[in-house]
């Protein structure tokens, strides 16, 4: 793959107000699909902020549709996603994913790497990788299993089915699902409470919880990277992308 990169520019919007850093994926016409530079810019923002809370969300009707397959040949998406996930988990401040709509592929991994993941009732979570002949990445093979267990993680990863936000909250994959009339106020109240809370205690607490529930995440990310490299060279991946772009069913041959 080529490693040519572009400046993400206004494809990501970063702003700070009242000690809250808000990172907004801003490609609504592409359902906020991402590439390497966008994910790297988000990681930079999390690393560099001194705000007390970080919120990651999307513009329009989606949180993030996953990797932009129109830019897939540029490469760098998995590396950018891994770095963002690592940065979110190690940040000494609460990170909230405000999932305003569908979270698919690497978008689902980013959403689930947050300390508190909340969602609009229209949202859903989709481990979409299998539909193009790939495997979950961005820690997706561990993040779902850590919350829901092995059986449900296999179902999401192998069948590539949507998990509606309301069911995700009921199962314990995310913290909260709000209706259209509750979402904005619920999110604002949560973020305000976190911003006024004991930052040092938050940092120690999330570090301990992540160590207890996500031990071995670095090995997971490395394993996913190696697996994705192999799958990215397969005919099935080539067929999966071609089928997606042509909006037709894929025909996989296992090679």
44-101 pLDDT tens trace: 999 999 999 999 999 999 999 999 998 877 779 999 999 999 999 999 999 999 999 9
Q: How distant is the alpha carbon of residue 171 from its chain centre? A: 18
Helix, strand, or coil (residue 17): strand
Q: Is the pLDDT of residue 121 over 80?
A: yes
Q: What are phi and psi of 4, to 5 degrees?
A: -60, 135
Strand partners, 58: 25
Strand-strand pairing, 95-99 and 116-120: parallel
What is the chain's mean pLDDT, rounded?
Answer: 95
Provide the residue ranges of all domains of the chain, joining segments of one domain with +: 9-179+198-246
Could you tell me which of 139, 128, 9 has the C-alpha nearest to residue 83? 139
Whole-prediction pTM value?
0.94
CB 120 within 8 A of CB 101: yes
CB 69 within 8 A of CB 110: no
CB 165 within 8 A of CB 119: yes
What's the fold here for domain 9-179+198-246? 2-enoyl-CoA Hydratase; Chain A, domain 1 (3.90.226)
Neighbours of 152 (CB within 10 A): 15
pLDDT confidence of residue 5: 52
pLDDT confidence of residue 72: 75
* Dist CA 19 CA 3 (whole Å): 36
CB 101 within 8 A of CB 58: yes
163-192 residue pLDDT tens: 999 999 999 999 999 999 999 999 999 999
Tokens of 25: 């994926």
Strand partners, 15: 22
Cα dihedral sign, 99-81-172-56: negative
* Dist CA 148 CA 163 (whole Å): 12
Task: Write the CB contacts of 59 (distance below 8 Å, at least 6 apart in sequence).
Answer: 13, 24, 25, 26, 27, 28, 32
* Dist CA 245 CA 122 (whole Å): 25
pLDDT bin (cut points 50, 70, 90) of residue 9 is: confident
Helix, strand, or coil (residue 69): helix
Task: Write the CB contacts of 170 (distance below 8 Å, at least 6 apart in sequence).
Answer: none
pLDDT bin (cut points 50, 70, 90) of residue 1 is: very low
CB 133 within 8 A of CB 240: yes
Which secondary-structure segment (H or E) carries 102? Answer: none
């Amino acid at each position: 793959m080529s490693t040519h990169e572009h400046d993400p520019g206004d494809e990501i919007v970063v702003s700070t107000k009242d000690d809250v850093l808000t990172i907004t994926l801003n490609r609504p016409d592409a359902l906020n699909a991402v590439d390497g530079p966008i994910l790297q810019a988000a990681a930079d923002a999390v690393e560099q902020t001194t705000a007390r809370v970080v919120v990651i969300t999307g513009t329009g009707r989606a949180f993030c549709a996953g990797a932009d397959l129109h830019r897939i040949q540029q490469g760098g998406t998995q590396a950018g996603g891994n770095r963002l996930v690592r940065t979110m988990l190690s940040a000494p401040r609460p990170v909230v994913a405000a999932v305003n709509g569908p979270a698919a592929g690497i978008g689902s991994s980013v959403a689930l790497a947050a300390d508190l993941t909340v969602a609009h009732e229209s949202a859903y979570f989709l481990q979409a990788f299998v539909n193009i002949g790939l495997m979950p990445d961005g820690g997706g093979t561990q993040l779902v299993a850590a919350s829901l267990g092995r059986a449900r993680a296999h179902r999401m990863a192998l069948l590539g089915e949507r998990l509606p936000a309301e069911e995700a909250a009921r199962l314990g994959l995310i913290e909260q699902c709000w209706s259209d009339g509750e979402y904005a106020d619920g999110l604002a109240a949560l973020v305000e409470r976190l911003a006024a809370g004991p930052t040092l205690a938050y940092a120690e607490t999330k570090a301990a919880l992540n160590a207890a529930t996500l031990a071995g995440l670095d090995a997971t990310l490395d394993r996913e990277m190696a697996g994705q490299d192999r799958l990215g060279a397969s005919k099935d991946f080539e067929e999966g992308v071609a089928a997606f772009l042509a909006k037709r069913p894929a025909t996989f041959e296992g090679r």
